[in-house]
Structure 1
Amino acid sequence: MTASNPAALQGYRGALLRFDAGGRPIHESDGLLVVRPPSPGQRCASIADVGDYATLRTRYPQLAVTHWPGKLIAPGFIDLHIHYPQTDIIGAPADGLLPWLENYTFPAERAFADFAHAQSVAQFFLDELLRQGVTTALVFSTSHPQSVDALFSAALARGLRLVTGKVLQDRHSPDGVRDATAQSLRDTQALIERWHNKARLGYAITPRFAPTSSPQQLEGAGALAARFPDTWIQSHVAENHDEVRWVQQLYPAARSYLDVYVRAGLVRERAIYAHCIHLDDEDRAEMRVRQAAAAVSPTSNLFLGSGFFDFAAAERTGMPWGLASDVGGGTSFSPFHTMLAAYYVGREGHTKQGLSLQPSQLWWHHTGAAARALGLEGVVGNLQVGAEADFVVLDPQATPLLARRTARAQSLEELLFALIVLGDDRVIAHTQIATPRTDAPD
């Protein structure tokens, strides 16, 4: 391609990691990423060209280029499931999921009735995401509408692509976080109308999980999902054995935990369900057919003793999935820690030999596959022409041990695995957000 106004473009030179449509890695040891600034009608900067530096440089002889020698330019990470109100309870000890909710989560979330508190946590939370190289996130707020306003306002100021929503929980919840059925649905609609598709923001209809929503609230959420079909849906399913048994008692007519959401009209494209550990193949096939996806949260599942996600069953049934930190049940904001925990689970989980997830496969499920799960393929999660220009610059020499190990890497997979095993926030040399236009339409 050629540029109509090459002076308006910006180039970024370094090693490049991107993926083809099948999730296979494409690596240029010396590559060039060409970024076009936003034009009228566009919300943010986009990728104009990408490929081998020597080839592309001849197309753009006057291009201003920022050079990162020895660094790897890669898609920004996508976190498919994370709770911003739980930032301050990360690492809190508990006997399991339900005691953890009772003793830590609900007390922490009560404080988000105060907008100033929510705003303070939102600022720290988003700064931490960016520090870890996460450029898109699907986020739980709390049952308080002001918690949603605080997070969206902070994300808008930073130009982030972020999806969140008010938690729906009208029963089996303590005072201070429990909402009222009809008001919760009115609040949800008002928030959708205020924030959905404003700049790079999106709204997620957010029942906490089936035990804390009455059938009436779930049905109302399903009606809103039908009325606003381009919104997202997020919730939890089949995380913990005690939780699964509780759902069976509360919803005896449902075939399974997932079926509770199916009956409510909440399993469709752009629906993301966290955990999905204790599903059967019928559930997994249902998610595939309905184009819903699992947010796999391995550090959280290990920390709370919830179980192992069955990667082999997901592959066998074609159930879509992507990776997620699930902070604060998850133990780190770092995508490297999440990918390493997923590798452990794949090795030690459900097959006798263990399922070895390839490093590039883990990376794909934290970027391009996660974007596909969100219905944002071609928008974020990959370095491809037309995509929004969110990317990270990684330093394989960020620590002495990492530098020693990556210098001996004999292949891309070996390099990526060294980054996964030994990497943390120090690897993130730079996080680039596709700067939005100040006059972009809402």
Structure 2
Amino acid sequence: MSGLRAIRGEIVHFLGDPADLGADALAHFPDGLLIVRDGLVAELGPAADLLPRLPAGTTVDDYRGKLVLPGFIDTHIHYAQTDIVASYGEQVLAWLEKYTYPTERRFADPAHAAAVAEFFCDELLRNGTTTAMAFATVHPASVDALFAAARKRHMRMIAGKVLMDRNCPDFLRDPADGGDAESKALIERWHGRDRLLYAVTPRFAPTSTPAQMALAGRLFADHPGVYLQSHLAENEREVAWVARLYPEARSYLDVYERYGQLGARSVFAHCVWIDDTDRTRLAATGAAISFCPTSNLFLGSGLFDLDRAHAAGVRVGLGTDVGGGTSFSMLQTLNEAYKVQQLRGQRLPVERGFYLATRGGARSLYLDDRIGSFDTGREADLVVLDPAATPLLARRTAVATTLAERLFALMLLGDDRAVAATWVMGEPAWRRP
């Protein structure tokens, strides 16, 4: 990344959480200019003020009439499940047996892993997502393929090899010491390389023995800066299963804590069936929740309690959870998040929704000093949204009188068609033809 360029348009980003700061959380430039130098944000302000100061010959990409936001951040997704999105009719435990495990078996073939990884990264960019935290499979080559594809596109990617040594098919089971050794080798090969970060990845407590859980916790502790990702309390039957497997634990979360897996940079997807004690422990240890509304609805798992998580001080980001989730689009994920909150008797203001998809996601990953906003020095990842992308969007936004109305129309009516362009590190990574 090199040189100076500028992006002009209606620019929106967040200075903090609207749930805490109210209107002061949002920065809005109706005709703004974002100046990028060497892939980083150099300056942001009104175009009328900044254009005259640009050096002659500076490239200005003109997106007037469109909204420019920080690139979306997906805090939980399964790249290996790309091909089973929209598979009919199961809840989570049956979903694993019927769809997930047979699909993940194919990733023993490096060529297959590479082909899916290429499509997966392109699909993220097509939907405006520039950072993702992703599960691979038990196969080290699946991690290599994903990191290679993301690196080629200069994306920020957090990923790891799945750890499973029980309660799964033999063709996906590896011994605890073998999974540990392969994870160490992958950390050495990829963690901190360009924009890539490694996540220790026990699938969930039922598919790991106590020995493997202990090794995963040790990996997390022994490699400063790595992440840990897993699933937590997605489904009531799953919670009951964990209670039988780990009768000494107070709760499902307590299993992870007993094995040293809670802390800054540990992210647990779902957290539908947790209690206030669990929320307090998540907040106190600095662990984060990935709220996955489309998969929670599609798999019939339950309704996440966003208000109680916020009241407890837990970091929360959004996850599409493809393939249990039904769309790569963060706009569609926000659509479902809004409905989950309605069913909970809670509200999700549009500003809070877009905060969770950008700066909130970055904060949950401890990356808000690098991504998620247009603060000076941040990596210049951005998405350009077209409020007239479809006839219905165009008609609805034509009568909108406020920014909030236009954003809400995009959140409820938008999908990949509303993404006009996606930029990564100050360079166009995808443009709608």
Relative to the length of structure 1, the TM-score reads 0.93
Q: Does 1:171 align with 2:166?
A: yes
Aligned mates of 2:292, 2:139 — CA distance in 1: 25
Aligned twin of 1:28: 29
Q: Does 1:428 align with 2:419?
A: yes
Q: Does 1:379 align with 2:379?
A: no
Aligned twin of 1:203: 198
Deviations 1:408-433 (A, max 9, x none): 11211111100011101111111111
Q: Does 1:259 align with 2:254?
A: yes
The alignment partner of 1:71 has SS state of strand
The alignment partner of 1:14 has SS state of strand
Report how far residue 119 of structure 1 moved.
0.5
Q: Does 1:186 align with 2:181?
A: yes
Q: Does 1:68 align with 2:69?
A: no
Aligned twin of 1:41: none
Structure 1 residues 243-252 or 55-64, which shifts more? Answer: 55-64
Aligned twin of 1:59: 53
Contact 2:36 2:426 in 1 (8 A): no
The one-letter code of the counterpart of 1:187 is E
Relative to the length of structure 2, the TM-score reads 0.95
Aligned twin of 1:328: 323
The one-letter code of the counterpart of 1:393 is V
Q: Does 1:396 align with 2:391?
A: no
Aligned mates of 2:426, 2:180 — CA distance in 1: 33
The alignment partner of 1:383 has SS state of coil
Aligned twin of 1:412: 403
Aligned mates of 1:302, 1:21 — CA distance in 2: 28
Aligned twin of 1:308: 303
Q: Structure 2 unaligned segments of length 5 or more: list them.
A: 19-24, 428-433
The alignment partner of 2:75 has SS state of strand
What pairs up with 1:23-422 in 2 under 5 angstroms? 23=18, 24-37=25-38, 45-60=39-54, 62=56, 63-349=58-344, 354-422=345-413
The alignment partner of 1:16 has SS state of strand
Contact 1:93 1:100 in 2 (8 A): no
The one-letter code of the counterpart of 2:216 is A
Report how far residue 22 of structure 1 moved.
3.7
Aligned mates of 1:64, 1:110 — CA distance in 2: 47
Contact 1:159 1:435 in 2 (8 A): no
Report how far residue 64 of structure 1 moved.
3.0
Aligned mates of 1:166, 1:314 — CA distance in 2: 28
Aligned twin of 1:439: none
Deviations 1:324-358 (A, max 9, x none): 10000001111111001000000102xxxx11110
Aligned mates of 1:345, 1:435 — CA distance in 2: 35
Q: Structure 1 unaligned segments of length 5 or more: list them.
A: 1-6, 38-44, 437-442
Assess, with a 3 A threshold, how the Cα gap between structure 1 residues 8 and 172 changes in structure 2: closer, same or farther.
Answer: closer
Contact 1:46 1:434 in 2 (8 A): yes
Report how far residue 317 of structure 1 moved.
1.2
Deviations 1:270-300 (A, max 9, x none): 1110000000001001111111110000000
Aligned mates of 2:307, 2:415 — CA distance in 1: 27
Aligned twin of 2:431: none
Deviations 1:151-172 (A, max 9, x none): 1111111111001000000000
The one-letter code of the counterpart of 2:35 is V
The one-letter code of the counterpart of 1:379 is R
Residue identity over aligned pairs, in percent, reads 51
The alignment partner of 2:379 has SS state of coil
Aligned mates of 2:11, 2:5 — CA distance in 1: 16
Contact 2:40 2:426 in 1 (8 A): no
Report how far residue 315 of structure 1 moved.
2.2
Report how far residue 69 of structure 1 moved.
1.9
Report how far residue 378 of structure 1 moved.
2.3
The one-letter code of the counterpart of 2:375 is Q
The alignment partner of 2:170 has SS state of coil
